[in-house]
Structure 1
């Protein structure tokens, strides 16, 4: 669960996290209203589901990033 949470926080703060995963994302299309993390987390999760098909690879990537 902590890996999920970290992924959402990273995505909220830094849109370029998705570019590392191989997706170029236009920040204008990636609209996240800045409230608190609890309200944002759901919307980010739904948007991430639409953008990146494999969720397991994301968790693997956040747990052990390539150096």
Structure 2
């Protein structure tokens, strides 16, 4: 594995910290079973959006779109 600094002048401590993060992520990815589903965070999970009821067309739709401040 080769890491190249493109910009800036990091200290040896900063390089060591960055390398530790990269190695930890690589080890976690290698340790995950190959058939395991990929972990998603809450923001990218489509079920989070689908769980909320969307407004349906009708006379009271405007009331459900108002966000009280």
Q: Is the shorter-chain TM-score for this pair beyond 0.5, marking a shared fold? A: no
Q: Which has the higher contact order (CA 8 A, sep 6+)?
A: 1
TM-score by length of 2: 0.26
TM-score by length of 1: 0.26
